[in-house]
Amino acid sequence: MPRVSQDHLDARRRQILDGSRVCFARYGYEGATVRRLEEATGLSRGAIFHHFRDKESLFLALAEEDAARMADVVAAQGLVQVMRDLLGGGEHPADWLGTRLEVSRRLRTDPEFRARWAERSRQLTDATRQRLLRQREAGNLRDDVDVDVLTSYLELVLEGLVSHLAMGLPADDLGPVLDLVEESVRRHRVRASLEP
């Protein structure tokens, strides 16, 4: 039997992740049946589960990958940019939203998933905290509020945005809201008086 190259295995794994992401976003975790995963990926269940132990492992791999991509955006541009991406300004906003919604739902309803996810969920928080620390050192971040409090604040805004989008509420006019959130964590320099 010929040996399969690592490049081929990596490409197959990517195909599974990309197809599954669409399937989970469209049908949710419960609705993403094995048959639907096969249709979305164009592969058999044997091929899918050769790379992933089970559906939960596949979903966790997607969620981890999205968290890593979001953490990269946070490191470069901040958590508010992730929020802007979710509104449609980024590379994979619909994909991120679908995964994020399903993670949130499962955290509420599945204690085993919550325990497994807790080990993996620090990446976005850590990236946000590190970005804020760098901004504080550069003099761009307000210094009257602890960085951990600002991190929690931004994460709560993100979760609120995800809930807003999940309810199907209008998102067209949220750009100014995100501007306000961004401005609320910035340091405001006192302007020198112009009096004679």
Q: Which residues of 120-142 are buried (b: 16+ CB within 10 A; e: fewer)?
A: ebeebbebbbebbeebbeeeebe
Are 135 and 177 part of one and the same domain?
A: yes
d(CA 56, CA 3): 28
d(C-alpha 10, C-alpha 8), whole Å: 5
Q: Which residue has the tokens 């559906």?
A: 55
| Residue 78 sits in the same domain as residue 26 | no
Model confidence pLDDT, tens digit, residues 85-112: 888 755 555 567 778 888 888 888 888 8
SS3 4: coil
- Which is more confident, 67 or 136? 136
48 and 62 assigned to the same domain: no
How high is the pLDDT of residue 135? Answer: 95
Q: Is residue 192 part of a domain?
A: no
Which of 16-25, 47-56, 146-155, 182-191 comes out lowest in average pLDDT? 182-191
Residues 10-29 have a mean pLDDT of: 91
The Cβ of residue 108 has, within 10 Å, a number of other Cβ atoms equal to 10
Residue type at position 41: T
Q: Please give the model's pTM, rounded to 2 decimal places.
A: 0.80
Q: According to the model, what pLDDT value does residue 1 have?
A: 52
Residues 29 and 79 in one domain: no
66 and 100 together in one domain: yes
Per the structure block, which two tokens stand in for 138? Answer: 């550069």
Q: Interhelix angle for 55-77 vs 6-31, to 10°?
A: 100
- Whether 196 maps to a domain, the answer reads no
Higher pLDDT, 96 or 83: 83
Which CATH number covers residue 159? 1.10.357.10
Q: Are residues 75 and 164 in the same domain?
A: yes
Domain shared by 81 and 141, yes or no = yes
Domains contained in the chain, number:
2
Structural domain that includes position 40:
1-52
CA–CA distance, 92 with 193 (Å, rounded to integer): 46
Strand partners for 141: 186
Q: Is the pLDDT of residue 188 over 80?
A: no
Q: For residue 110, is it within any domain? A: yes
- Asked whether the predicted pLDDT for residue 194 surpasses 80, the reply is no
Q: Long-range contacts of range 28-31, CB-CB < 8 Å, 24 or more positions apart?
A: 28/102, 28/105, 29/55, 29/59, 29/102, 29/105, 29/106
Residue 90 confidence (pLDDT): 54
